[in-house]
Homo-oligomer: A and B are copies of this chain.
Amino acid sequence: MSLALAVDFGGTKVEAALVDDAGVVLPGSRFRSPTGPTASSEALAAAVDEVVTAALAARPDGVELLGAGIGSAGPINVAAGRISPLNVAAWREYPLLDQVRSHLPGLPAVLRMDGLCITLAEHWVGAAQGESNVMGMIVSTGVGGGLILNGLTVPGPTGNAGHIGHVEVGGFDVRCKCGGIGCVEAVASGPRTVEWAQQQGFAGTTGEDIATAYAAGDPIAIAAVRRAGRAIGQAIGSTTAVDDLDVVAIGGGFSHVTPDLFTIIRETIQERAAFPFVAKVRVVPSGLSGDGPLIGAAALIHQPELLG
């Protein structure tokens, strides 16, 4: 057995753990600390140091440590090892790779976007095992993803490939904070779906409220889920038109709002009937547990042959 240190840095928390070469988190090695949009740069750096130190201390004697894989919310700058997460204002071009590397002198460290790590995890232990043209996708507070094409990860020259949340969808005249018009994140994320439902008179305030109301047959909740599912299906359709995907595995909190969400997504894609290569894309629920982002970060070390 060998281990990789895995780090997952996001807008609400940072986690670290040791992950073995079978894609299993070592029991007792997983630690988390809050991040958040208002944290200072020093507090964020301390949070990273804390979880990394704790995870490394959990290494059993005599077990080899291969290196560190780091997944981060985007945008990132992969060549420079720096991150600028949209929802973590204190860090712009922050040298996270160097900070983590300083804990493992002499060992390799690899930084990629969290969406790419999720995709590696789906490919390794999740819903996309054996597939060569995959998008791993998250529908939650935001909408994001990552790409494996022709059997290799596609980080892009800056490390930001896979930002499906900022693919526009037709028929929605909503401005996105990125500057786009009708980006799927601005239409179909959990919070934006709740916001739309509220504008129609919905009294709830969370994605869970939408889920409960949907299950009870509330017409606004049904319309809201339908709207989100259509937008997600449209974005997958566009992305498949460009990248000829075989499978999209979707996780994230709002993806669980109802299993019907997947039916709506699939029906929307089937409307692209003129293109069998678009209609062929399979959309499936994520096969990952809550360990997925860490397992994917560890894959950056355990499966270097997949790094494009």
- Residues on A facing B (Cβ under 8 Å): 75, 86, 132-133, 147, 149-150, 152, 154-174, 177-183, 234-235, 237-239, 241-246, 271-278, 280, 308
Contacts and interface: CB of A to CB of B under 8 A. Distances in A.
A179 B242 contact: no
Nearest to A181: B170
A275 B160 contact: yes
25 contacts: A75-B275, A133-B156, A147-B242, A149-B156, A150-B152, A150-B154, A154-B243, A155-B244, A158-B277, A163-B275, A164-B242, A166-B237, A166-B241, A166-B278, A168-B235, A168-B238, A170-B174, A171-B172, A171-B173, A171-B182, A178-B275, A180-B234, A180-B271, A181-B234, A242-B243
Given A161-B244, A170-B170, A272-B166, A277 B156 contact: yes
Nearest to A273: B179
A170 B182 contact: yes
Contacts of A271: 179-180
Nearest to A168: B170
B280 A158 contact: yes
A157 to B, nearest CB: 5
B238 A166 contact: yes
Nearest to A183: B170
Contacts of A280: 158
Given A162-B242, A169-B181, A178-B272, 14 more contacts: A147-B242, A156-B244, A157-B244, A158-B244, A160-B241, A160-B275, A161-B243, A166-B275, A167-B241, A168-B238, A179-B272, A179-B273, A179-B275, A238-B238
A303 B237 CA distance: 31
A276 B75 contact: yes
B276 A234 contact: no
Contacts of A174: 170
How often does this chain occur in the complex, in copies?
A: 2
Q: 7 tightest A-B contacts by CB? A: A156-B244, A170-B182, A170-B181, A168-B170, A166-B241, A161-B244, A179-B271
Contacts of A157: 132-133, 150, 244, 246
Contacts of A272: 166, 178-180
Nearest to A133: B157
Contacts of A245: 156
A154 to B, nearest CB: 6
A275 B86 CA distance: 9
Contacts of A169: 168, 170, 181
A75 B272 CA distance: 13
Contacts of A149: 149, 154, 156, 161, 308
A281 to B, nearest CB: 10
